[in-house]
Amino acid sequence: MVFARGGRNNAAMNDRRAPRILLGITGGIAAYKTPDLVRRLRERGAEVQVVMTVSARQFVAPLALQAVSGREVRESLWDPAAEAAMGHIELARWADLVLVAPATAEFMARLVHGRADDLLATLCLATAAPLHLAPAMNRLMWSNPATQANVASLRARGVALHGPASGEQACGETGEGRMLEPVELAEAVFAGVGLSRPLAGRKVVVSAGPTRERLDPVRFLTNRSSGKMGYAVAQAACEAGAEVVLVSGPVALPAPPGVTRVDVESARQMYEAVHAALRGADVYIGAAAVADYEPAQVAPEKIKKEAPTMTLELVKAPDILASVAALEPRPFVVGFAAETQRVEEHARAKLERKRLDMIAANRVGDGLAFDRDENALTVLWDGGREELMTAGKLDLARRLVALVAARMAAQSRPASNVVHVRR
């Protein structure tokens, strides 16, 4: 076994409730990026409430934002239904963080002067939550002394600014003033305040990649797993605040930053490494395509090509999922069903047969899942299901980790918790 240490996260346990982000959108061209920004924030486990200015409607439709956020978009300080119960104060208290993206020069100027002439500006004055801005404007507007004075004033008051970036702008000019891309902005916001860390204080063990079962010194049995899904799950768990140990079969992938990797080859080596790593662990995510069978005997020398046929005797390899599910006290166990047909039916049967708490199922075969950068999952548990639609494997892994963390919190089990994803 080979160990590659990438660091350890010692974050304290945090509130298991999903972080609440109030996303304010002002009237800049960069507003067209905000549906993607909402998606990126939700991938990291946040609830997102959108509040728009009147000008923002010229660049992005409220219906699009409602579709990706799952919440009705708020726009007016004078909404009779919402304001009957002082809705702007309720929103100001609801938020764990207020993010304004894009933040125009005009809006920042209003903040500096304490204006409360629309819903978003009023919320920024009325909230005790951290205020973050993602400036976006023409390069000359950004460099104007008035804007820079406003920036200095806002920073002095504790307002966090992310960006702007430098590059080509909508007006055709090039320079500083671009809003950060949604992925960069989401990561910057979460890193800065420790949001969406439902696994903070947890130790997570992830297994990933294929195994190789030796036939002789030069040949082995293996499978098509690339390890991409497992490595994405390890990264997502690390982003969620966990200390992560990644037990990996042979793959051509670098360990995610902050993750400790243990390299193994065979199913038996992976079995041993996983159980060793589980000591003190809270979560096990088995993202490996472990061999179901191994050769009964390994030839000490290369098998020569002599007879026209050859018969191999195979025996069952160690079942890592079953062995972990049998531990006492009983952990929270999630299995993974990779099927070529009747996917949900087979997954449900496995859920019951192995007495799992949750199972993630997907269809595999030619052109599906293996060796690809995208995947899709159907996650099942007793009395519930959720479709994780086709997405990049890292995005999908973040959604899966968030769902597992939510289920763990719902069941409030203090014992070790296990996730088994097979790829």
Per-residue pLDDT of the chain (423 residues; tens, 9 = 90+): 554 544 333 333 334 467 889 999 999 999 999 999 999 998 877 889 999 999 999 999 999 999 999 899 998 876 665 554 446 678 888 888 899 999 999 999 999 999 988 999 999 998 888 899 999 999 999 999 999 999 998 988 778 888 898 887 777 788 889 999 998 898 888 765 556 578 888 899 999 999 999 999 999 999 988 999 889 889 888 878 889 999 999 999 999 878 999 999 999 999 999 999 988 888 888 888 899 999 999 999 999 988 899 899 999 999 998 888 888 877 777 778 788 899 999 989 888 888 877 888 888 866 665 767 788 888 888 888 888 887 778 778 878 888 888 888 877 655 455 555 544
**What domains can be seen in the chain, in order of their start residue?**
20-193 (3.40.50.1950), 198-419 (3.40.50.10300)
Strand, helix or coil for residue 156? helix
Active site members: 171
Instruction: Decide if 199 contacts 240 (C-beta within 8 A).
Output: yes
Q: Angle at the Cα of 273 (from 219 to 333), degrees rounded to 5?
A: 110
| Among 105, 102, 98, residue whose Cα is nearest residue 139 | 105
Task: Give me the amino acid identity at 90.
Answer: E
DSSP 232-257: HHHHHHHHTT-EEEEEE-S-S-PPPT
pTM beyond 0.95, yes or no: no
Instruction: Decide if 104 contacts 28 (C-beta within 8 A).
Output: yes
Q: What is the Cα 107 distance to its own chain's centre?
A: 31
